[in-house]
Amino acid sequence: MSSRWFFLLGVVISLLAFIPFYLLRSPQIGKDLKVHFQRVNLPDQPLEGKPSEKPLVVRLAGDAKTLNPALVQETSSSAIIGDIFSGLVKIDPKTLKVEPDLATDWEHSPDGKVWIFHLRKGVKFNDGHPFTADDVVFTFRDVYFNPQIPTPVRDTLLVNGKPFKVEKIDNYTVKFVLPETFAPFLRTLTVPILPKHKLEKYVKEGTFLSAWNINTPPKDIVGTGPYRLKEYIKGERVVWEANPYYYEKDKRGVQLPYIRKKIGLIIPDPDTALMKFLTGQIQIMGVGASQLLTLFIQAKDKPIKIYDLGATPSLTFLVFNQNPNADIPKYKIKWFRNPLFRWAISHAIDRQGIVNLVYNGLAQPLYGPVSPANKWIYDPKLFPPIDYNLKKAKQLLEQIGFKDRDGDGILEDKEGHKLEIILLTNAGNKEREAIGDIIKQDLERIGIKVHFQPLDFNNLVRLLTTPPYGWEAVIIGLTGSVDPHFGRNVWCSWGSLHMWYPLQKKPSTAWEAKVDQLFDKAALTLNATERKKLYKQAFQIIYKEQPMLFIATPEELMASWDIFGNFYPTVWGFWKGLYIFQQ
């Protein structure tokens, strides 16, 4: 009987592995396995809930590199401090429109160069200190536009390379004077507002870069957001508690958020995190396609919901280091800067195979720098599919002088250097590790020796973003944005996240200069249709030059214990997240 049971279990597992995703949503399967798939339908208004001290427990993929929002460059930091701060405005994930936050309303001149913002009265930072116009002026003038502070925030705020002026009219009124018309200005004001009373001394002392580091006591991290940091034990957990001074309330006057305490367990390995989720130690987590079968088999006793949020705005890609100042062999930089070389590698990437094998079909091949999630700008006609063709890839390599000159199966360039590449990704990301293995195998089939090395995420980020930029190739991803302007520190040559060659003093190629010009022009164009055309032209150039080899855009899946009300996740964040409550 025992052997027969194991045989039947094996048959069930095999069948589940090949069930199409849309069938997994059927009521019968959900009923048997206590796992329910569903799309998120956003109502007109959230339900009224009750505040609860029961903690919401989530997974964090890694430690922060900084607790200073002006210095954040990676999601591991923003995931920890995001709810501690707020901006003058915020974006509604349902409508993707701008809503009031620390500012209640605003008006602007006909030419869009002068804006007046009226600040919310009675707001306090989480240490009880009043929020006023002085904090707004300090945030922009003394921090974001301070040339001595290398903040990535500045990249999105500059108007055609120039800062705007910020003036205090009174304690609750601020005037912004722009050097030119700036179409995305209002959306830029989602950036965190910082407390002058806590950070001004660091600016004056010239020690801002060390302010609010990961060793700073939690009570000193001060913002106006819905939560404040209570505890941070590196490598273990983060604890947030509701900001007792937070201004938002529901219609009954009950202070938000309803969930008064959150815990983030730092678990780099997603499989370990899944086990903790299944045992109830974590209540919410994003899941990859490869984890679905484990959920089905092991989650038989308790109800779990899996939300299919659709295509993620994130971009997964392979990028080569084209920085002439990088600490890698110069002959490799020469390879990487050749567009034919990049096209050869692009043809060697089996995008559809990766979608099927890595994501179990829960993804789409990605050929250009815009995800289908961005419905405003995405157009599949912009990015014709790049065929997986190893023969064509090798022909392109031979066209630029690569040949197996000694018969060992590895190509050499004209100077005799072997075509060997060190390919990195972040350790613990199972999908990217699997993608790396597939690409390694295909590249070696055409004579490229690949040394594939997953690294700790923070070490990888340091390699990518700081001199001497000692990396050759990496598989990584970037979070997308609704408005392309907020990705221009990636696409423009001067940007700190211009992955292949950041912080250029002047564009190193004519095509990069053209992309810069198109993004600058789009920022000054108020007509939405014309702006869209400009961005499409820029993205067509990027597609043609292949500085980043885009691979796939996965479906975003979120698993949750079925214990929450007002639970409305989207690919752009939670809608009415402060209203989530435990039932």
* Distance, CA of 242 to CA of 270 (rounded, Å): 27
Quickly count: other Cβ atoms within 10 Å of residue 28's Cβ.
Answer: 8
Using the predicted structure, report yes or no on whether residue 297 has a pLDDT greater than 80. no
3-state secondary structure 284-295: EEEECHHHHHHH
pLDDT at 229: 98
119-133, 234-248, 277-291, 452-466: lowest mean pLDDT where?
A: 277-291
Q: Which of 488, 497, 431 is nearest to 461 (CA)?
A: 497
> What percent helix, strand, coil does the chain show, rounded to 5?
35, 20, 45
pLDDT of res. 1: 37
| Rounded mean pLDDT, 143-162 | 91
Cα 530 versus chain centre, distance: 27
Provide the β-strand partners of residue 582.
564
Domains of the chain with bracketed CATH: 85-210 (3.90.76.10), 315-555 (3.10.105.10)
* The pLDDT value given to residue 572: 87
pLDDT digits (tens, 9 = 90+) for 307-349: 988 888 889 999 999 999 999 999 999 999 999 999 999 999 9
Three-point CA angle 278, 280, 286, nearest 5°: 60
At residue 16, the pLDDT reads 37
Assign 372 to helix, strand or coil. Answer: coil
Q: For 166-225, how does the pLDDT look when each residue is reduced to its tens digit (9 = 90+)? A: 999 999 999 999 999 999 999 999 999 999 999 999 999 999 999 999 999 999 999 999
Across 537-542, average pLDDT: 98
What DSSP state is assigned to residue 577? G
Q: pLDDT band at residue 25, thresholds of 50, 70 and 90?
A: very low
Edge-to-edge strands of the sheet including 114-119? 103-108, 114-119, 173-177, 165-170
Cis peptide leading into 257, omega within 30 of 0?
yes
Cα dist from 42 to 47, 245, 575, whole Å: 12, 29, 8
On the question of pLDDT at 403 being above 50, the answer is yes
Would you place residue 27 in the very low, low, confident or very high pLDDT band (cuts 50, 70, 90)?
very low
**Which tokens go with 274?**
């899944």
pLDDT band at 454 (very low <50, low <70, confident <90, very high): very high
Q: What is the pLDDT of residue 301?
A: 65
Q: What is the mean pLDDT of the chain?
A: 90
For the segment 438-449, what is each residue's pLDDT rounded down to a tens digit? 999 999 999 999
Name the DSSP letter for residue 163: P
pLDDT for res 300: 61
What average pLDDT score do residues 116-134 get?
Answer: 98
pTM score, whole prediction: 0.73
Token duo for residue 36:
């329910």
Instruction: Report whether pLDDT(5) > 80.
Output: no
Question: What pLDDT is recorded for position 477?
Answer: 93
The reported pLDDT for the residue numbered 36 is 76
For 465, the token pair is 């973003």
**554 touches 312 (CB < 8 A):** yes
Residue 386: its pLDDT value, please?
98
Q: Are 393 and 401 in contact (CB under 8 A)?
A: no
State how far the Cα of 445 lies from the Cα of 516, in Å rounded to an integer: 37
pLDDT band at 481 (very low <50, low <70, confident <90, very high): confident
The answer on pLDDT for 86 being more than 80 is yes
Q: Coil, strand, or helix at residue 462?
A: helix
Q: Is pLDDT of 38 > 70? A: yes
| DSSP bridge partners of 35 | 304
* pLDDT at residue 160, as a whole number: 79
pLDDT of the residue at 14: 35
Asked if residue 299 has pLDDT above 80, the reply is no
Within its chain, how far is the Cα of 314 from the centroid? 6
Res. 543: pLDDT tops 90: yes
**pLDDT over 90 percentage in the chain:** 74
DSSP 28-80: HHHHHHTEEEE-----SSPPP---B-SPEEEEESS--S-S-TTT--SHHHHHH
List, in sequence order, every residue forming a beta bridge with 362; answer none if it has no partner.
Answer: none
Residue 156 has pLDDT above 90, yes or no: no
Sign, Cα dihedral of 267, 270, 271, 275: positive
